[in-house]
Amino acid sequence: MRYGLCILALLISPVWAGEYNTRIDTYIKTLQQVAREPVLTRTLMNASHECQSLIGILAIEKQWAELSAHERQIMVSENQLGYRFRDLIAEPDTDFVEFILSSEQGETVAAWPAPSDYWQGDETKFIQPAMQRKPVVERFDWDESSSSVSLHISVPVFGQQGLVIGVLTAGIEVDIASLKDLQIP
């Protein structure tokens, strides 16, 4: 059933025209607000000081699929930000189903739930907001880590002197009833 909904959603999804509707704009504003939280920027600054090499990040990515779901959860979710993301998802009347905070190199620094990939650096939801320095709304699709049809919205996280120090991505659960209202890309 979910697979059929995903196919239907992809077929009727309109092409992005560059304008956000009110609901999407609200999600973006929420993400931008979270992206400015001191604990989030502090975590990214610490990650940049620890600065793992891309080879090291890719080695973790290679092992990621072999880890149990519990081990992945501990690595990126059992921390202050992971709990913050969990609490945002648990709020009543929220459509958020996933949060991923990636460092400037694309490694997952914090998430809830643990993503299916450790390295986000090769994904559009990381590359576009980091390069364009503005929010990016992606087409929706089946999301393995949140087990839902999700729309991903990503915002750059800015540090000192306006440098992009990471990307915050949220998965928004999409249901058939909301497709018309969302005007999703």
What pLDDT, on a 0 to 100 scale, did the predictor assign at position 182? 52
Compute the C-alpha angle 47/42/111, nearest 5°.
65
Share of the chain above pLDDT 90, in %: 45
What pLDDT, on a 0 to 100 scale, did the predictor assign at position 29? 95
For the chain of 185 residues, list the mean pLDDT of each consecutive stretch of 10.
38 38 87 94 78 80 88 90 94 90 93 91 93 88 60 92 94 68 51
For tokens 């077929």, name the residue: 11
What pLDDT, on a 0 to 100 scale, did the predictor assign at position 12? 35
CA 94 to each of CA 38, 140, 157: distance values in angstroms, whole numbers, following the listed order: 23, 17, 22
What pLDDT, on a 0 to 100 scale, did the predictor assign at position 94? 86
* DSSP at 91: S
What pLDDT, on a 0 to 100 scale, did the predictor assign at position 20? 44
Which helix H or strand E contains 32, and what residues bound it? helix 22-35
CATH class of 2-182: alpha beta
What pLDDT, on a 0 to 100 scale, did the predictor assign at position 89? 94
pLDDT tens readout for residues 56-109: 888 888 888 889 989 988 989 988 999 999 999 999 888 899 999 999 999 999
Q: Is the pTM above the cut of 0.85?
A: no
C-beta separation of 179 from 9 below 8 A: yes
What pLDDT, on a 0 to 100 scale, did the predictor assign at position 145? 58
